[in-house]
Structure 1
Amino acid sequence: MGKYFGTDGFRGEANVNLTVEHAFKVGRFLGWYFGKEHKAQIVIGKDTRRSSYMFEYSLVAGLTASGADVYLLHVTTTPSVSYVVRTENFDCGIMISASHNPFYDNGIKIMNGNGQKMEAAVEEQIEKYIDGELEELPLAKREDIGRTIDFSAGRNRYIGYLISIPTRAFKNVRVGLDCSNGSASAIAKSVFDALGAKTYVIHNEPDGTNINTNCGSTHIEELKKFVKEKQLDVGFAYDGDADRCIAVDDKGEEVNGDLIMYVCGKYMKECGKLNNNTIVTTVMSNLGLYKACDREGISYEKTAVGDKYVCENMMANGHSIGGEQSGHIIFSKHATTGDGILTSLKLMEVIIEKKLPLSALTREVKIYPQVLKNVRVYDKKTARENQKVTEAVHKAETELGEDGRILVRESGTEPLIRVMVEAPTDEVCEKYAQQVVDAMKEENLIAE
């Protein structure tokens, strides 16, 4: 974790801890870094936040001042930038978005030439340049100064690619889409319409300040209500930059990333397309997913929290599906990053091929109740390694046995210890989570 860049780019409140000066310097560095041996070509996309235009212009100014040519996709999704980078041979891609955060936040996500998150070593160099720890970079002169090119054609090619993926048309399937007043508003409906679905859309009128506001994948209750009211067959909700997808089944029940991975992974195994017979999860996936995979003879791996780590594991080992409970799902045959719209298309494929409603496809998975307590502490490492705390954790592990689990980890971005317990009932979860929190209190580790 760097000073500015976390697991999902450089994120902060616009004009507070993420400023136009930061964006300009990010552009200056990237234009110089990729332009050492040839004229750099860099593609930029953005979501619907009011501040996204401001950061786009600042990045463009820095990039062109360093000699790079900049191709603008305008409002689009994070996975579309990844797709365009790797298929059009760009040096790198930039997405301006704070994903599921409120509208006043924003972020700069940088992708390498493979469409994956930029290597930490490059981000470290950018941070040093921002802080004045590197020599000032040369400015491009005369004909070497960069230019901007409208590249909405790249976004259209991505839409065409999505439409080409499903093996069957969606004719007469009643589909609800919650576009979160974000990036999906520019793409999702046209894809489902082209595939023949009867498409019903909510929250697809972005105004710069309503992105993620009581809508999208982090407020799934809106889509659940919509699916029930319209008696739809299925619904899909995206986050602000559409790299996540949470589904709603035909009965109006939530289908999260764990359930999506199970349904798609099981179907891929049946079709002989589940590489290494393995699904890649994070440590936060539900115990119910693992028990269902055990029953189906599907193996799984667990990574640290973050789709970045899921992707690294998948690429290193050749796995074909992985993701997070939050709806970041990666299908390595089609993408190198989580793609919400692609995820919904793959789930539609299973529904249509199996001729079963989504509620039937998820019925066999028992999701365990989960309690998560975020405890603010003076020092994360000291709290996690404290003897009384580790004894409380070990006691919980022993007593839960195979009927539950406890996970205690440090937050990557805040002074918090996260205590997560899964067990057959909410009461059991609460009991063991509270025992660990009480141990921290007794040891005076909690910052009041």
Structure 2
Amino acid sequence: MGRLFGTDGVRGLANRDLTAELTMDLSVAAAHTLRSEGEFAGHRPRAIVGRDPRASGEFLSCATIAGLASAGVDVYDAGVLPTPAIAFLVSDYGVDLGAMLSASHNAMPDNGIKFFARGGHKLGDALEDDIEKRLGTPWERPVGEAVGRVRRLTDGAERYLNHLVEALPNRLDGLHVVLDTAHGAASEVAPEAFRRAGARVTQIGGEPDGLNINEGYGSTHLDKIQAAVVEEGADLGIAVDGDADRCLAVDASGLIVDGDKIMTILTLAMRERHALVGNTVVVTVMSNLGMLQALEREGISYVQTAVGDRYVLEEMKRGGYAIGGEQSGHVILSDHGTTGDGTLTGLMLAARVAQTATTLSELASAMTELPQVLINVKNVDKDRVAQDEGLQAAVAQVEAELGAEGRVLLRKSGTEPLVRVMVEANTLERATQCAERLADVVRDRLAL
């Protein structure tokens, strides 16, 4: 059996892969793991639990709360709020543990659970491995007054809204923004935050019913917000995903502004106001070469990590850096949060548009995106990628051909028997040709 935790918690088909029983057991194990780490030493532990609006979150959040309370943890039920809101509230309330029920941008039938330690930080691999090891092990159950108590968290949304608006360097007065909230967890708080900051808001994807999260809306389905921005004559559009930990943007003409461009814009803005710690931004190996070239032209340093916002955050913490993120729109602003926050990122992007009195299109022109082709090669021995000499020789040959005008990345999937072949080049045709060549080599050399 493979590792239960993926790159962002435990996910699967709700009530089949992720059951109420497993969710409860994970919650108990998380409480015991953090207790053994000394997180709860000398006091009665407290936790905050939140969820996105998908139907399965209703019973899975109850299972999570039950598991924690049965382990002697007092639980505050925050209800439907974005993932970054739960991370913020764990820190703001000074509680010991947080849990979020969400499968992020996945379709409604899926769900997931992720945990936050004190301070609102996601758990590292070692702690997650310890939680897995504790599943199903005997434990002494508290009784009487030692069991955890459960209360409703009534002011969580308001505290989070205040945090968002206070983080802005300037107001958004005069801006017309289209928000696509994916019928998800930010459907109420995101438009309210933009309005409080002064923007005129048109919302789409804002009617969650428990079944429609991410269905044709949100940051993975941008066609509707592209059309809405043009139709409304808005200045820009912001689309978050189901749990609102990421966002992508659309300029006034309907063109997509991805996470790399958003980070480039925000990095330049932070340097201008002397907030760019170490003159450095943290990116992943999937960040577009055009972004890296733009940063180099501006004299800004970058550090690359593995894909996954947890790895970005780890590097940011190591270096004390203030911004990092991914092409997918996960952007971490460590002065204001411990995880990606799509609403905050969108607010900061809109604030830059308002502050410069220019267009998002002009701001995004700071980087030129190189064509990027990604091919998933399935049913191969992904663990032999680095060891296969013939494959590595083929990679070296393509890299030599591309020179400074492109790059190659081969990355094994964390959950499936496949290898991702990514090639960037100065033209789409060249990137496609090189990617297909390497994909053929992967199939031939690593076939199962």
With structure 2 as the length reference, what TM-score do the two structures score?
A: 0.96
Counterpart residue number, 2:14:
14
**Equivalent residue number for residue 430 of structure 1:** 432
> Could you say which residue in structure 2 is the equivalent of 1:211?
213
What is residue 83 of structure 1 aligned with on the other side? 88
Q: Does structure 1 retain, via aligned residues, the 8 Å contact 2:29–2:132?
A: no
**Which residue is 2:167 aligned to?**
165
TM-fit CA distance, 1:80: 0.6
Residue 382 of structure 1 is matched in structure 2 by 384
Q: Secondary structure at the match of 1:292?
A: helix
Aligned position for 2:62: 57
Alignment of 1:217-256 (within 5 A): 217-256=219-258
Conservation of the 8 A alpha-carbon contact between 2:380 and 2:419: no
Aligned length: 443
1:33-52 aligned within 5 A:
33=33, 34=35, 37-52=42-57
Aligned to 2:139: 137
1:383 CA displacement:
4.1
Asked if residue 72 in structure 1 is aligned to residue 73 in structure 2, the reply is no
Please state whether the residue corresponding to 2:155 is helix, strand or coil: helix
Distance of 1:353 and 1:424 partners within structure 2: 33
Residue 267 of structure 1 is matched in structure 2 by 269
- Name the residue aligned to 2:114: 109
Find the residue that maps to 1:373 and give its secondary structure.
strand
AA at the equivalent of 1:446: A
Shift of 1:352: 1.4
Q: For residues 128 and 441 of structure 1, what CA distance do their matches in structure 2 show?
A: 35
**TM-aligned CA deviation for residue 23 of structure 1:** 0.8
What is the CA-CA distance between 1:403 and the residue it aligns to?
0.4
> Structure 2, unaligned stretches of length 5 or more?
none
**Distance between the aligned counterparts of 1:202 and 1:320, measured in 2?**
31
TM-score, with structure 1 as normaliser: 0.96
Which residue of 88, 96, 99 maps to 1:94? 99
Partner Cα distance (1:54, 1:30) in 2? 19
Deviation at 1:298, TM superposition (A): 0.9
> Which position in structure 1 is the counterpart of 2:447?
446
Distance across 2 between alignment mates of 1:245 and 1:409 = 24
Listed one character per residue, the Cα deviations across residues 41-92 of structure 1 (whole Å, up to 9, x for unaligned) are 0100100110001111111111111111100110001111111111211001
2:183 corresponds to which of 174, 181, 184: 181
Partner Cα distance (2:286, 2:102) in 1: 24
Amino acid at match of 1:344: G
User: In 2, distance between residues paired with 1:149 and 1:183?
Assistant: 20
The answer to whether the 8 A contact 1:175-1:199 is kept is yes
Letter paired with 1:295: R
**Separation in structure 2 between the aligned mates of residue 32 and residue 381 of structure 1, nearest angstrom:** 33
Question: Which consecutive residues of structure 1, in runs of 5 or more, have no partner in the other structure?
Answer: none
CA-atom RMSD in angstroms:
1.5
CA shift digits 1:270-295 (9 cap, x unpaired):
22211111111000000110111111
The secondary structure found in structure 1 opposite 2:121 is: coil
Shift of 1:169: 2.4
CA distance, structure 1, for counterparts of residue 443 and residue 194 of structure 2 = 52
What is the alpha-carbon distance in structure 2 between the residues aligned to residue 47 and residue 31 of structure 1? 22
Cα deviation for residue 37 of structure 1 reads 4.2
Matched to 1:38, the amino acid is H
**Partner-residue secondary structure (3-state), 1:152:** coil
Alpha-carbon distance between aligned partners in 2 of 1:368 and 1:299, rounded to the nearest angstrom = 19
Deviation at 1:120, TM superposition (A): 2.3
- In 1, are the aligned partners of 2:260 and 2:291 still within 8 Å (CA)? yes
- Within the candidate set 311, 314, 335, 1:312 is matched to 314
The more displaced of 158-167 and 24-33 is 24-33
Q: Is the 8 A contact 2:218 2:239 kept in 1?
A: yes
